[in-house]
Amino acid sequence: MSGAADWGADHAAIAATTAKLLAAVNASDVAGVLAVWADEGVLMPPHHPSVQGLEPLRTYFDNLFSRTTFTFRFTSSSIELVGDTAFESVTYIVSTRPTDGRTAREDRGKGLHVYRRQGDGSWQLIHDIWNSDQPAVAPPAPRDQRLGSA
Amino acid sequence: MSGAADWGADHAAIAATTAKLLAAVNASDVAGVLAVWADEGVLMPPHHPSVQGLEPLRTYFDNLFSRTTFTFRFTSSSIELVGDTAFESVTYIVSTRPTDGRTAREDRGKGLHVYRRQGDGSWQLIHDIWNSDQPAVAPPAPRDQRLGSA
């Protein structure tokens, strides 16, 4: 069993790992993002199927950062430790800037990080899932509805 | 420490809890949904802020099911037990039918359930988050882009 001192050290190590992830995403630093992920980790991004494993993650983030840069800011974090696993729920604000110069957009949402303690004592991501708080954009209505019955 | 027999029983109990949740959502049965949630649970729905606690959850599902009915089907489930906590990653297909008679839409996505073992041995949801695999609908372009520079 671990005591309060261990809990504090684990909590600090997990918060530091999240800070590394945030800095890497905000710098479009693919190697920095991958350093936080466990080999078998599963990224679960909105509007894209899950991405599992370091090489698929590398391809995903290479493509993503070539099209878009991000400034994420976590507005809350709650970390729960259960043995060698930890759950962190976060809320965030993100500014998303297309690299083609189109206007940046701001969004806010929430997410869940699942971390696993590694053999060397570090913590790595095994799941990362999030979604937006903003209402969905409605899909275009069928043509006959848009134009009326005329 | 728990042995393999306990693991099997816990796994079955968690899978049964997920099955109850699925049946309740598909029947627009708010009481059935709430029966699966822990008092302090946090629902993290796409395109809506987090909803925490049984009374806010009741209001959320009352409103949701008055506007929309769902047929969810889980297409995969992976359950991991960590002491008195468990997390389940799922993939799903859902058919969403507005109650005003507009056309049903099909979607697919993935999610993460976090369960907590309760004092009576049952398992209850403490986090539920999911998102769509489908590409986002692009927001309307600013008026000058839609109409050109004329």
**B14 pLDDT above the threshold of 80:** yes
Nearest to B133 among A48, A135, A140 (CB): A48
Position B137 scores a pLDDT of: 77
Q: Do B129 and A132 touch (CB under 8 A)?
A: no
Q: A31 to chain B nearest CA, in Å?
A: 25
pLDDT band at B128 (very low <50, low <70, confident <90, very high): very high
**CA-to-CA distance for B109 and B72, rounded, in angstroms?**
11
Prediction ipTM score: 0.89
- Token pair belonging to B41: 């649970």
Tell me if A131 and B42 make a contact (CB, 8 A cut-off).
no
pLDDT, tens digit, for every residue of B29-42?
A: 999 999 999 999 99
Tens of pLDDT along chain A (150 residues) come to 446 668 889 999 999 999 999 999 999 999 999 999 999 999 999 999 999 999 999 999 999 999 999 999 999 999 999 999 999 999 999 999 999 999 999 999 999 999 999 999 899 999 999 999 999 877 665 554 544 444
Q: Is the pLDDT of residue B4 over 80?
A: no
Q: Do A46 and B42 lie within an 8 Å CB cutoff? A: no
Candidates B42, B79, B107, B131: best to mutate against A (most CBs of A within 10 A) is B131
Note the pTM of the prediction, 2 decimals.
0.90
Q: Specify whether the CB–CB gap between B74 and B18 falls below 8 A.
A: yes
CB contact under 8 A, B133 and A49: yes
How would DSSP label each residue in B109-140? EEEEEEEEE-TTS-EEEEEEEEEESSPPPPPP
pLDDT of residue A143: 55
Q: Which pLDDT score, from 0 to 100, does residue B150 have?
A: 40
Exposure on the CB side of residue B123, measured as CA atoms within 13 A: 26
Residues of chain A neighbouring B107 (CB-CB closer than 8 A)? none
- B-chain residues within 8 Å CB-CB of A137? 136-140
Q: To the nearest whole number, what is the mean pLDDT of chain B? A: 91
The predicted pLDDT at position B7 comes to 80
Question: B137 and A138: CB-CB below 8 Å?
Answer: yes
